[in-house]
Each structure stands twice: as C-alpha cells, then as structure tokens.
Amino acid sequence: MSPAIDGTHDAALQSWVESANDPASDFPIQNLPFGRFRSEDDADWHIGVAIGDQVLDLRAARLIDSSDMNRLMRLLPETRRMVRQAISEGLRAGSAQQKTFRAALRAQSSVELGLPCQIGDYTDFYTSVHHATTIGKQLRPDNPLLPNYKWVPIGYHGRASSIMPSGQGFHRPHGQTKAPGQDAPTCGPCRRLDYELELGAVIARPNVLGQPIGMLEAEQHVFGVGLFNDWSARDVQAWEYQPLGPFLSKNFASTLSPWVVTLDALAPFREPFSRPEGDPEPLAYLDSPANRAQGAINIELEVWLQTQAMREAGHGGDRISQSNYRDAYWTVAQLVAHHTVNGCNLRAGDLFGSGTLSGPNPEQGGSLMELSLGGKAPVVLSNGQTRAWLEDGDTIVLRGYCAQAGFRRIGFGECRGLVLPAID
C-alpha cells in the first residue's frame, strides 16, 4: 500500500510561517520534511521539520518526547501519519498552537543541519536503465547491458561511515589506476573524479532476520527520500570493478541532503509504473497491483556545477543536467522487496541509494562520465570553462522538486558538496 492523499496535501493550506507561503519555497506546509539540526549553544542533535526558511523543533513543540530520529522512524506508519497531521494542524494559519510552535522555531540559517539520521548500513542500487546502458557502452561496447539487468535490481553494499551531510568538502581521493596503455598500475590522486545524481531512500521500520518484506508492505518500511551524491573515482573504478563491483572508487565520500521528504508528502506525485514494450515483466515477488498503479514518483532532478572561478566571480553556477525519478527501471518498493527476499534484515536508518538517475536523452546524464562521453567531449560551461571531470574547487549542488496540477509544488532543498585538493 502506498500513502494516500489527505488534508495535509490540500493546495489551499496556508501557514502562519509567512516564508512557507512563498510559491518559490521548497518547504510549504504541504511538504514537512524531517531532518536533524543543532545550534551553537547546544551540542545535541534535535529533530526538526522544515517550514519555509525555518525549522520546527518537534520536541520543543511538544509533538514528540525524544531527539532520536531512528526511533521516530521506527514508529508504525499510522503513528507517523498522525505526527504529520499534528505538525500540519499546528502550522496552519489560525492554529491555536501558534504560540507554542512559534517558540519552537529556529531560522534554518542560524542552525547546523546534519545527516537526517544515524545511517547504519548503506546499499547503492543501479536503477536507471539509461545510466546502465550508457556506462555499459563505455566499459563494454559489444555488451552494454548485462543479461541480468532487467530481472535483478542490481546493487552493492556501500559504506555508511563516509556519508557526509550537505555543505561539506572532501579531499580528492588517492587510488590505484591503470591506463589502457600502461603495463602496470600506479597509485596517486584520482584524475577522473565524478559525481552521481541519486536519491537516497531512508528505511523506517526494520524486519526480522529471515523474514522477507513483501511488495504489499514494502513502502511501510520506507520513511522517505532525500538527495544523494555518490562521488565516484572513475579511473579507480575502471581498474577495480571486476569481478566484485565498486569498492574504493565509491567509499571515500557521499553527500546526503539534510531533509528527508516523507513518502506521505510524496503521495500526490505518484504515477503508474510500467516496463517498455517487449521487456520482461518483474518476477512475482517484485510485482504488485499497487506498484503498477502508482509505483513511480514524479521527482524533477537537477545538477548544478559551480567552479571556483565562477564562485570568485559571484556566479551561482550552471545547471548541467536534468532528469526525473519516474524514469527509473525499479521502484522503491521493488528495492525493499528484493533486498530482503533472502531474509536480509533492514534497520531503521539504513540508506538505499537509487543509483545514478539519468534520463533517456544524452543531455540527461546523471554523471560527468555520461555528459562528457567518458571524458572525450568535455562539457562547455557558460563562462567558457570546460569539464571532462571534476576539478579542485568545484561545487556540485543537487536539487529536486515535485510539481503536479492541483497540488502545491514541494522541493527537496539542496545537496551540496565541494571538491578539495588531494592530500599529499
């Protein structure tokens, strides 16, 4: 079952938090994404909900009695929905709780936004058939899409320890690489550094080891989604990826946005999910009527690049690609059902990366590897600079939003990361 549309999605709702009523705000009262924040005078993380340019401290607003996001995410879906309802009512124009809630507001600009929860395990999938085909062509021109792709949601176990909150920088990684003409590999700073435009789904309710989660319950185990950048060292990846898949080319840094947009908030933006004509139908454990009717989610995604020269010139950066999550080959429910079909147990706070979300057209590549054709056709930026791969001082910002006639547009905020020079 997918979350249903209810009164919290009503496009006519207005908040007494004025900034939330600005049509340009990512965080109107219909959104209410969850995250964690802390202020200078208090080292502890608090659970907050974004509303306009403010964050509502849920404990200070007396909506919950804990600051443990993972515990909140383990709540039953009905209970989580009641919390959403209570937040929505308290933030509505004319609410009797305005005074209590106002005392629990902080300006987002005045607090530190962290990772939305404690992330236990992290799995990265490969759900864009367009990305898989383009990358496959570069790695294996005769055999781009491997025969399992349309049957198995491909993934690998990533590393949670290097997932960092939005706004941080990371140093260009060192690694072992071997160019095609070389006899032996060398170790040094990565020369083909890339980003990956992804969504990160945060797991809510756990399952018991040995007990798979079926398609009908799968979405009850998902809290929501944020923006996720799976930074990648392509030269390291090309040398190390066979036969067990990515390893050090991926686990040096990943960036997650501070706000998790709940599946409840995304209810108005669901769409039918189907396979192209002639493709195999999913096996029974990856199929359900609800998944066919509304398994896809219409989320517009954008990648922005700001070079150091742009930053110094006061230039905000270029939007270098756009895609939509509706084009993914596997749905969130299918990822949950597949991950647990063998009895693997998920825990609250586990993160599922969607894999790079590229669209069907070449300019919709979700990585530089796609946009620059493996480095052969560098992207030309508006200030005349070019990029085959990321350079030191580059900032990548991911953005996302949902728009649908009859509903208020909701956004994901941003997922921002900065490339710092390699450490000698």
Residues belonging to the active site: 131
Task: Give me the residues that bind Mn ion (CB under 5 A), please.
Answer: 124, 196, 230
CB of 143 to Mn ion, least distance (A): 21
Q: How far is the CB of 382 from Mn ion (least distance, A)?
A: 27
Amino acid identity for residue 88 in this structure: S
Q: Closest separation between CB of residue 230 and Mn ion, Å?
A: 3
CB of 177 to Mn ion, least distance (A): 19
Of 196 and 219, nearer to Mn ion (C-beta) is 196
| Residue nearest to Mn ion as judged by C-beta position | 230
Distance (Å, rounded) from C-alpha 286 to C-alpha 250? 28
The nearer residue to Mn ion, 45 or 125, going by C-beta atoms, is 125
- In angstroms, the CA 89 to CA 376 distance is 54
Residue whose CB is less far from Mn ion, 121 or 230:
230
CB 133 → Mn ion: shortest distance, Å? Answer: 15
- Residue with Cβ nearer Mn ion (177 or 229): 229
Query: Which lies closer to Mn ion via its Cβ, residue 121 or residue 124?
Result: 124
